[in-house]
């Protein structure tokens, strides 16, 4: 306890502010809010960007870290936008595929009906052919019957 209270007097006030910025950056990243994390990182970077104590090692480390974070966060934000664009396109393509599958199902059903109708037509044509032959045979019988009756 004595050690902690003695250490608190050693911690400089700007370090506390920096740690608060870092904590907000970390929380924003944890919540996938990269834009807010970048804004908070910019605040931290600005604290040391125009700093009079920019030559101090601590300030240089914070500034370089903030610049690297900014670069990485911008890349994450850009990748997230690309991912969202691809997700929307993928969703659109998925809907198109579902519509095409539905249309294919309907066409397949129609094709099966057409095949059944085609078989029915073939059967009717065969039956028609048989009936025409029977009619022809009956006419022949009728004609021959007249010749038989007239010849006797």
Q: Please give the C-alpha separations between residue 84 and each of 7, 13, 72, 88, 93, in angstroms, as whole numbers.
A: 47, 41, 18, 6, 14
Q: Model confidence over 124-145: pLDDT tens digits?
A: 999 999 999 999 999 888 877 6
Question: Is-contact 47 19, C-beta < 8 A?
Answer: no
Question: Is-contact 45 71, C-beta < 8 A?
Answer: no
When pLDDT is averaged across residues 119-128 and rounded to a whole number, the result is: 96
**Roughly how many angstroms between the first and final C-alpha of the chain, as a whole number?**
144
2 — pLDDT class (breaks 50, 70, 90): very low
pTM recorded for the entire structure: 0.57
- Counting Cβ atoms within 10 Å, is residue 48 exposed (0-12), middle (13-18) or buried (19+)? buried
Q: According to the model, what pLDDT value does residue 10 have? A: 55
Q: Model confidence over 32-69: pLDDT tens digits?
A: 999 999 999 999 888 887 655 556 788 888 888 999 99
């Amino acid at each position: 306890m004595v050690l902690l209270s003695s250490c608190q007097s050693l911690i400089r006030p700007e370090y506390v502010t920096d740690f608060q910025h870092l904590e907000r950056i970390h929380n924003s990243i944890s919540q996938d809010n990269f834009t807010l994390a970048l804004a908070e990182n910019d605040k931290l970077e600005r604290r040391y960007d125009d700093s009079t104590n920019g030559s101090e090692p601590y300030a240089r480390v914070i500034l370089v870290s903030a610049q690297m974070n900014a670069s990485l966060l911008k890349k994450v934000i850009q990748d997230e936008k690309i991912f969202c664009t691809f997700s929307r396109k993928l969703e659109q393509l998925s809907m198109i595929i579902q519509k095409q599958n539905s249309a294919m199902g309907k066409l397949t059903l129609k094709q099966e009906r057409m095949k059944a109708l085609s078989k029915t037509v073939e059967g009717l044509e065969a039956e028609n052919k048989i009936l025409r032959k029977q009619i022809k045979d009956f006419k022949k019988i009728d004609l021959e019957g007249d010749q038989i009756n007239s010849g006797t």
